[in-house]
Amino acid sequence: MSLHRTTIDWQRTAHASAASTYSRNHRAMLAGQSLAVSASPEYQGDPECADPEQLLLTALASCHLLTFLAIAEIQGYRVESYRDAPVAHLEKNAAGRMAVTRIELSPEVRFAGDRQPDAAALAKLHDSAHRNCFIASSITARVTVNPAIV
């Protein structure tokens, strides 16, 4: 078991393009690093900042990556590179509320060495990574993994 902490800091300032409202921009402190965060542009946020939905998506994709790397190493595979361009879908859920309902991971993995997984072994690696990912176990969005060997 472990604890994970962050600090969020927001101060009222004028919205850059809508004088009748406030800026959504704020800072998140993560492990001593400051990250500019805002609402998504569709919700009057700053497109130059990360938004909470992107952060959720990044957390899931990063967790899947780290879990995948650990499982691959245990099984004797040497991963040389891993790249993903995940997509989160913000839409109404079954209760009619806005939610991230679907997430699609599309990892491209490059292996080195003599041991190369075939498509079935790769699918098992990703399935195991998904089942063991802490973040995937924490969310209700449907997650689809569409892997590719590079």
For 63-108, the pLDDT digits (tens) are 999 999 999 999 999 999 999 999 999 999 999 999 999 999 999 9
> Kind of pairing, strands 26-30 and 33-37?
antiparallel
Give me the count of residues in the chain: 150
Same domain for 74 and 105, yes or no, is yes
Same domain for 103 and 78, yes or no, is yes
User: Tokens standing for 51?
Assistant: 């938004």
pLDDT exceeds cutoff 80 at 149: no
Is residue 59 assigned to a domain?
Answer: yes
Same domain for 89 and 143, yes or no, is yes
| Structural domains in the chain (count) | 2
Domain that holds residue 135: 52-149
- Spatial distance between the Cα atoms of 21 and 16, rounded to a whole number of angstroms: 9
- Spatial distance between the Cα atoms of 87 and 92, rounded to a whole number of angstroms: 16
Is residue 2 assigned to a domain?
Answer: no
Same domain for 39 and 65, yes or no, is no
User: Tokens standing for 9?
Assistant: 């800091």
Q: What is the pLDDT of residue 148?
A: 82
Is residue 1 assigned to a domain?
Answer: no
Q: What is the pLDDT of residue 6?
A: 94
The whole-chain average pLDDT of the chain stands at 95
Q: What is the pLDDT of residue 44?
A: 95
Same domain for 92 and 72, yes or no, is yes
